[in-house]
Homo-oligomer: A and B are copies of this chain.
Amino acid sequence: MTDNGDRTGGGGTGVEGPADTVAAVVRQWREVLPELDTEPMHLIGRINRSAALLRQAEEAPLRRAGLTRAEFELLGALRRTGRELTPGDLARETFSSGAAVTKRLKQLAARDLVDRRADARDRRVVLVRLTETGRETVDAVLPQQLSFEADVLSGLAGDERDRLAALLGKLLGQLEGRIPPML
Protein backbone atom coordinates (compact mmCIF):
# COMPACT_ATOMS: atom_id res chain seq x y z
CA MET A 1 0.00 0.00 0.00
CA THR A 2 2.08 2.78 -1.22
CA ASP A 3 0.58 6.02 -0.15
CA ASN A 4 -1.12 8.02 -2.82
CA GLY A 5 1.11 8.27 -5.78
CA ASP A 6 0.03 11.71 -6.77
CA ARG A 7 1.99 14.07 -4.68
CA THR A 8 1.49 17.04 -6.92
CA GLY A 9 -1.01 17.73 -4.19
CA GLY A 10 -0.49 21.40 -3.61
CA GLY A 11 -1.23 21.88 -7.25
CA GLY A 12 1.46 24.48 -7.57
CA THR A 13 3.59 24.31 -10.62
CA GLY A 14 7.04 25.71 -10.24
CA VAL A 15 7.80 25.28 -6.57
CA GLU A 16 9.32 21.91 -7.29
CA GLY A 17 12.43 20.35 -5.91
CA PRO A 18 15.69 20.03 -7.74
CA ALA A 19 15.75 20.99 -11.38
CA ASP A 20 17.88 18.06 -12.37
CA THR A 21 17.63 15.81 -15.39
CA VAL A 22 15.76 13.14 -13.53
CA ALA A 23 12.99 15.46 -12.47
CA ALA A 24 12.43 16.41 -16.09
CA VAL A 25 12.25 12.81 -17.18
CA VAL A 26 9.79 11.90 -14.47
CA ARG A 27 7.66 14.86 -15.45
CA GLN A 28 7.51 13.54 -18.99
CA TRP A 29 6.41 10.14 -17.84
CA ARG A 30 3.72 11.62 -15.68
CA GLU A 31 2.32 13.55 -18.57
CA VAL A 32 2.17 10.56 -20.84
CA LEU A 33 1.13 7.93 -18.33
CA PRO A 34 -0.54 9.80 -15.48
CA GLU A 35 -1.99 6.67 -13.92
CA LEU A 36 1.44 5.28 -13.09
CA ASP A 37 3.05 5.72 -9.71
CA THR A 38 6.23 7.39 -10.82
CA GLU A 39 7.44 8.16 -7.33
CA PRO A 40 10.19 5.52 -7.23
CA MET A 41 11.74 7.03 -10.31
CA HIS A 42 12.87 10.09 -8.42
CA LEU A 43 14.97 8.05 -6.12
CA ILE A 44 16.19 5.34 -8.39
CA GLY A 45 16.71 7.57 -11.36
CA ARG A 46 18.86 9.84 -9.26
CA ILE A 47 20.91 7.00 -7.92
CA ASN A 48 21.59 5.71 -11.39
CA ARG A 49 22.35 9.07 -12.83
CA SER A 50 24.60 10.11 -9.96
CA ALA A 51 26.50 6.89 -10.28
CA ALA A 52 26.95 7.38 -13.99
CA LEU A 53 28.21 10.93 -13.61
CA LEU A 54 30.54 10.02 -10.79
CA ARG A 55 32.03 7.19 -12.77
CA GLN A 56 32.51 9.35 -15.75
CA ALA A 57 34.13 12.11 -13.74
CA GLU A 58 36.49 9.74 -12.01
CA GLU A 59 37.61 8.35 -15.31
CA ALA A 60 39.88 11.35 -15.75
CA PRO A 61 42.44 10.64 -13.02
CA LEU A 62 42.41 7.01 -14.01
CA ARG A 63 43.18 7.72 -17.64
CA ARG A 64 46.08 9.83 -16.53
CA ALA A 65 47.43 6.78 -14.75
CA GLY A 66 46.72 4.63 -17.80
CA LEU A 67 44.15 2.55 -15.98
CA THR A 68 40.64 1.42 -16.61
CA ARG A 69 38.17 1.69 -13.79
CA ALA A 70 37.90 -2.08 -13.71
CA GLU A 71 41.65 -2.44 -13.59
CA PHE A 72 41.84 0.02 -10.75
CA GLU A 73 39.21 -1.82 -8.79
CA LEU A 74 41.21 -4.97 -9.17
CA LEU A 75 44.40 -3.33 -7.99
CA GLY A 76 42.44 -1.68 -5.21
CA ALA A 77 41.13 -4.98 -3.96
CA LEU A 78 44.68 -6.26 -3.72
CA ARG A 79 45.86 -3.13 -2.01
CA ARG A 80 43.16 -2.87 0.59
CA THR A 81 43.17 -6.51 1.58
CA GLY A 82 46.94 -6.41 1.85
CA ARG A 83 47.16 -10.07 0.91
CA GLU A 84 47.63 -12.16 -2.15
CA LEU A 85 44.31 -12.99 -3.75
CA THR A 86 43.32 -15.61 -6.25
CA PRO A 87 41.55 -14.74 -9.49
CA GLY A 88 38.43 -16.18 -7.97
CA ASP A 89 38.72 -13.89 -4.97
CA LEU A 90 39.21 -10.96 -7.28
CA ALA A 91 36.17 -11.87 -9.33
CA ARG A 92 34.08 -11.89 -6.18
CA GLU A 93 35.64 -8.69 -4.82
CA THR A 94 35.06 -6.79 -8.02
CA PHE A 95 31.72 -8.35 -8.93
CA SER A 96 32.80 -9.44 -12.34
CA SER A 97 33.26 -12.70 -14.17
CA GLY A 98 36.30 -14.84 -13.81
CA ALA A 99 37.05 -14.49 -17.47
CA ALA A 100 37.20 -10.72 -17.18
CA VAL A 101 39.60 -11.02 -14.28
CA THR A 102 41.88 -13.31 -16.24
CA LYS A 103 42.03 -10.83 -19.10
CA ARG A 104 42.76 -7.91 -16.84
CA LEU A 105 45.39 -9.79 -14.96
CA LYS A 106 47.14 -10.64 -18.18
CA GLN A 107 47.37 -6.99 -19.11
CA LEU A 108 48.29 -5.81 -15.66
CA ALA A 109 50.99 -8.44 -15.43
CA ALA A 110 52.35 -7.37 -18.81
CA ARG A 111 52.62 -3.85 -17.44
CA ASP A 112 54.27 -5.19 -14.32
CA LEU A 113 51.59 -3.97 -11.96
CA VAL A 114 50.73 -7.39 -10.60
CA ASP A 115 52.53 -10.63 -10.18
CA ARG A 116 51.08 -14.11 -10.54
CA ARG A 117 52.53 -17.22 -9.03
CA ALA A 118 51.22 -20.72 -8.69
CA ASP A 119 50.06 -21.84 -5.30
CA ALA A 120 52.26 -24.57 -3.90
CA ARG A 121 49.57 -26.65 -2.17
CA ASP A 122 47.08 -26.56 -5.01
CA ARG A 123 48.49 -26.04 -8.44
CA ARG A 124 45.15 -25.07 -9.91
CA VAL A 125 45.24 -21.93 -7.85
CA VAL A 126 47.04 -18.77 -8.84
CA LEU A 127 48.08 -16.20 -6.30
CA VAL A 128 48.11 -12.61 -7.41
CA ARG A 129 49.85 -9.80 -5.65
CA LEU A 130 50.73 -6.20 -6.35
CA THR A 131 54.19 -5.40 -7.54
CA GLU A 132 55.99 -2.47 -6.09
CA THR A 133 54.93 -0.28 -9.01
CA GLY A 134 51.41 -1.58 -8.71
CA ARG A 135 51.25 -0.52 -5.10
CA GLU A 136 52.73 2.85 -5.94
CA THR A 137 50.22 3.35 -8.70
CA VAL A 138 47.27 2.68 -6.44
CA ASP A 139 48.69 4.90 -3.74
CA ALA A 140 49.15 7.69 -6.22
CA VAL A 141 45.71 7.49 -7.78
CA LEU A 142 43.55 6.84 -4.76
CA PRO A 143 44.14 10.20 -3.06
CA GLN A 144 43.21 11.94 -6.29
CA GLN A 145 39.97 10.02 -6.43
CA LEU A 146 39.22 10.80 -2.83
CA SER A 147 40.00 14.45 -3.14
CA PHE A 148 37.82 14.70 -6.18
CA GLU A 149 35.06 12.95 -4.31
CA ALA A 150 35.43 15.19 -1.32
CA ASP A 151 35.27 18.14 -3.64
CA VAL A 152 32.03 17.02 -5.22
CA LEU A 153 30.54 16.24 -1.85
CA SER A 154 31.47 19.63 -0.49
CA GLY A 155 28.27 20.92 -1.98
CA LEU A 156 26.48 19.13 0.83
CA ALA A 157 26.76 20.10 4.45
CA GLY A 158 28.42 17.64 6.76
CA ASP A 159 25.23 16.45 8.35
CA GLU A 160 23.55 16.18 4.98
CA ARG A 161 26.34 13.89 3.86
CA ASP A 162 25.94 11.82 6.97
CA ARG A 163 22.21 11.48 6.58
CA LEU A 164 22.58 10.67 2.91
CA ALA A 165 25.18 8.01 3.63
CA ALA A 166 23.03 6.54 6.38
CA LEU A 167 19.91 6.41 4.23
CA LEU A 168 21.82 4.87 1.37
CA GLY A 169 23.26 2.37 3.78
CA LYS A 170 19.78 1.38 4.81
CA LEU A 171 18.66 1.05 1.21
CA LEU A 172 21.75 -0.90 0.33
CA GLY A 173 21.06 -3.22 3.19
CA GLN A 174 17.66 -3.96 1.70
CA LEU A 175 19.18 -4.50 -1.70
CA GLU A 176 21.97 -6.73 -0.57
CA GLY A 177 19.55 -8.73 1.48
CA ARG A 178 17.11 -9.08 -1.35
CA ILE A 179 19.34 -9.98 -4.25
CA PRO A 180 21.90 -12.20 -2.67
CA PRO A 181 22.19 -14.81 -5.41
CA MET A 182 25.86 -14.02 -5.52
CA LEU A 183 28.41 -13.48 -2.81
Contacts and interface: CB of A to CB of B under 8 A. Distances in A.
Given A57-B179, A160-B170, A164-B167, 20 more contacts: A17-B166, A17-B169, A18-B170, A19-B173, A20-B173, A28-B82, A29-B80, A32-B79, A37-B146, A37-B150, A43-B153, A44-B54, A50-B168, A50-B171, A51-B51, A51-B52, A56-B179, A57-B175, A155-B170, A164-B168
A152 interface: yes
Interface residues of A, number: 75
Interface of A: 2-3, 17-23, 25, 28-29, 31-33, 36-44, 46-57, 79-82, 86, 89, 95, 121, 139, 142-143, 146, 149-150, 152-156, 158, 160-161, 163-176, 178-179, 183
B55 A48 contact: yes
A151 to B, nearest CB: 9
Question: 10 closest pairs, A vs B, by CB?
Answer: A18-B169, A51-B51, A40-B149, A155-B174, A46-B168, A28-B80, A164-B167, A53-B175, A42-B165, A20-B172
Nearest to A49: B172
29 contacts: A17-B165, A18-B166, A18-B169, A18-B172, A21-B172, A25-B80, A33-B139, A37-B150, A38-B146, A39-B150, A39-B161, A40-B146, A42-B165, A43-B153, A43-B168, A46-B165, A47-B54, A47-B168, A48-B54, A50-B172, A53-B172, A53-B179, A54-B175, A57-B178, A156-B167, A156-B170, A156-B174, A160-B170, A163-B167
